[in-house]
Amino acid sequence: MNQNVFIELINPFKDKVFRLAKRLLTSTEEAEDATQEVMVKLWNKKENLDSYGSVEALAMTMTKNYCLDQLKSKRAGNLKIVHSNYTDREPQLDKKLEDSDSLEWVEKIISQLPEQLQILIQLRDVEQYEFDEIAKIVNMNETAIRVALSRARKKIRESMLNTHRYGIQ
C-alpha cells in the first residue's frame, strides 16, 4: 500500500478520529497529537489492514484506547487538563453570543459525563454511527449501548434543564 492509497483510505474518518480525541482529551493540540499517533500506528500496520473488518472501526477503537490511556497516565501524574486553558484555534462560528454560550454549556455538561458515556454520545449523536458499528468500536452489545446512551442523554437533559431554569428563576 503506498501513501496515496493510505491517505485515501483514512480521509473519510480522519476528522472523526480527531473529534473523538478532542471529546476525551479536551484540548485541540492533544487531540491532534492523538490523531497523528493513531494514523501513524495504522500506517505501520498497513500490510495487514485487510485482515480487519473495518479500518474505520479499528481506527476509532485505537483512538478510544489511546485517549483513555492518555487520560489515565495524566491522572496518575496528578495532572488534570483544565478546560479553560485551551482555546479553539478555529475561528468562532458566527453564532450569536447567546447561542454559542449555551452550546458551550452543552460541551461542559457532556465533559462531566463518565468517559464511556462521552464516547457513546460522540459516536452516536455527533458522528451518527449505527449501533452495530458502535458495538464493534467499544466492544459492547447493542442493548447495553442503548441503555447507556439513554442514560447519557437523560443526564444531559437534566443538566440542561437546570441551566435553563437557572436563567429564569
User: Which residues contact another protein by CB under 8 A?
Assistant: 3, 6-7, 10, 14-15, 17-19, 22, 31-32, 35-36, 39-40, 43-44, 89-90, 93, 95, 99, 102-103, 105-107, 110, 124-128, 130, 145-150, 153-154, 156-157, 160-161, 164
Q: 130: exposed, middle or buried (C-beta count within 10 Å: 0-12, 13-18, 19+)?
A: exposed
- The amino acid sitting at 110 is I
Pick between residue 72 and residue 161 the one whose CB is nearest to another protein: 161
Angle between helical axes of 3-25 and 28-44 (0-180°, round to 10)? 140
Those residues with Cβ within 8 angstroms of residue 90's Cβ, 6 or more apart along the chain or in another chain: 28
Q: How far apart are CA 23 and CA 26, in angstroms?
A: 6
Pick between residue 73 and residue 161 the one whose CB is nearest to another protein: 161
To another protein, the closest distance from the beta carbon of 28 in angstroms equals: 8
To another protein, the closest distance from the beta carbon of 9 in angstroms equals: 12
Alpha-carbon distance values, 118 to 26, 50, 99, 122, 146 (Å): 12, 30, 22, 6, 13
Pick between residue 74 and residue 146 the one whose CB is nearest to another protein: 146
CA 81 to chain centre: 16
Pick between residue 50 and residue 90 the one whose CB is nearest to another protein: 90
To another protein, the closest distance from the beta carbon of 78 in angstroms equals: 28
To another protein, the closest distance from the beta carbon of 91 in angstroms equals: 11
To another protein, the closest distance from the beta carbon of 16 in angstroms equals: 9
Residue in 38, 85, 86, 93 with CA at minimum distance from that of residue 66: 38
Pick between residue 80 and residue 89 the one whose CB is nearest to another protein: 89
Cell 487538563 appears where? 81
